[in-house]
Amino acid sequence: MARRNREPDPDEVAAYNEAVREQEEYEETVRRRKRNKRIVIGTLCTLLVLALAAAGVTTWFVGRVSSNIERIPGAFDIPDEQRPPAAGGDAVTFLLGGLDGPDEVDVYEPGAARTDTIMLAHFPDGRDHGYLVSIPRDTYVEVPGHGENKINAAYSLGGPSLFVRTVEQLTDIRVDHLALIDWNGFEQLTDELGGVTLTFDEPTVLADDTTLPPGRHTLDGEQALQYVRERKDLPAGDFDRVKRQQNYLRGLMHELLSAGTFTDFGTMNGLTEAVGQAARVDEDLGAFDMARLGMSMRNLRAEDMTFLTVPTDGTGWAGEQSIVVYDAARADVLWQALKADDMDSYLADNPDLVTGQQVN
């Protein structure tokens, strides 16, 4: 996407500083009324949901982010009878797609790009926890109107609405919002934050063939991009890349929630530009919706997110295509558990699906 970098306007700086002051006064009032109940901003359903839920300076920040982010037209142009019923209560579900073409996020063109990253981020009623479920790109599923195919082909064949419909048909969960992510945009976001710190317990190979030794590393934007893109030299290929992407997002959350991130105007100004570089969202997610979403997630912490991968049954072949075999029996139980807010028992029975803290 085209960059929008510009010098901060003095009036914006003054408005931002005033918003910070008001927020600090508000937080002091909250501390007096509610011991130890600090307002911690947001979550991720990735970068986007975290950033939109960000900081107490909701009016200024959300307004800037909303104006910077481009919209996805027609994401939900699907007959209502072909969609799952809406979730009860205040649960919300985001579908995240990371595209693979050179101009991947700007405009949909048939066949121009596929969704090489697919994540379903679900926040139950009450918003005290979040779950981010990755679906490997080569998972072989039914694409409505196109027969069986790899799930990443849905966007290429029919654009955002077919992508949404395919995931809804697979999961029987209604998608409330869609975000299309450009991993290149995460490079700028990482640099704006001063890097993302990750710890490795063994040598870690990046996509540019460099190797990081064991230990604690603060990855700059380029290193982070090479970390999430590597696949060929990983023992489990795309399965391991999925875990790397989740691990990076978890590290990004910690950086975004760190002290000082939302009280420095220069950092905030850079973040709003970087968010616009990294993602587009559906037309139904307006500035008011972003602010409301942020308020509803104000007590959600980074450690309240659980990252996991949908159950699969190894790899196989469909004609000449190498595919990931979808484990429908276990996956159906997962989707039901998400809808019923019964994930604790499901995860206790399926600990192998959870991405741990140590990902090389």
What is the C-alpha separation between 255 and 196, in angstroms, rounded? 6
DSSP letters spanning 2-40: -----PPPHHHHHHHHHHHHHHHHHHHHHHHHSTT----
- DSSP three-state, residue 112: coil
Q: Is the pLDDT of residue 9 over 50?
A: yes
In this structure, what token pair is assigned to residue 59?
């009016």
Other C-beta atoms lying within 10 Å of the C-beta of residue 25: 10
What pLDDT digit, counting tens, does each position of 327-359 carry?
Answer: 999 999 999 999 999 999 999 999 999 987 767
Q: What's this model's pTM, rounded to 2 decimal places?
A: 0.80
Cβ-in-10-Å burial (0-12, 13-18, 19+) of 296 comes to middle
Q: Per DSSP, what are the bridge partners of residue 131?
A: 122, 306
- Report the CATH architecture of 10-353: 3-Layer(aba) Sandwich (3.40)
- DSSP three-state, residue 282: strand
CA 31 distance to own-chain centroid: 31
Q: What single letter denotes the amino acid at residue 42?
A: G
Other C-beta atoms lying within 10 Å of the C-beta of residue 163: 29
What is the C-alpha separation between 114 and 107, in angstroms, rounded? 12
In this structure, what token pair is assigned to residue 48?
């986007």
- DSSP three-state, residue 156: helix
Q: For tokens 């405009």, what's the residue?
A: 107
Nearest CA to 162 among 205, 196, 210, 111? 111
- Kindly state the average pLDDT of the residues 273-285: 80
When comparing pLDDT for 55 and 265, which is higher? 265
pLDDT band at 71 (very low <50, low <70, confident <90, very high): confident
What pLDDT digit, counting tens, does each position of 122-153 carry?
Answer: 999 888 889 999 999 999 999 999 999 999 99
Eight-class DSSP state of 151: T
In the chain, DSSP finds a helix count (H) and a strand count (E) of: 11, 15
Which residues touch 294 (CB under 8 Å, ≥6 apart)? 41, 42, 52, 53, 54, 58, 62
pLDDT attached to residue 69 = 77
In this structure, what token pair is assigned to residue 256?
């975004």
When comparing pLDDT for 107 and 102, which is higher? 107
What is the C-alpha separation between 156 and 167, in angstroms, rounded? 14
Least confident of 8-17, 153-162, 184-193, 298-307: 8-17
Q: Where are the domains of the chain?
A: 10-353
pLDDT attached to residue 44 = 33
- Kindly state the average pLDDT of the residues 152-167: 95
pLDDT attached to residue 297 = 72
When comparing pLDDT for 305 and 279, which is higher? 305
pLDDT band at 227 (very low <50, low <70, confident <90, very high): very high
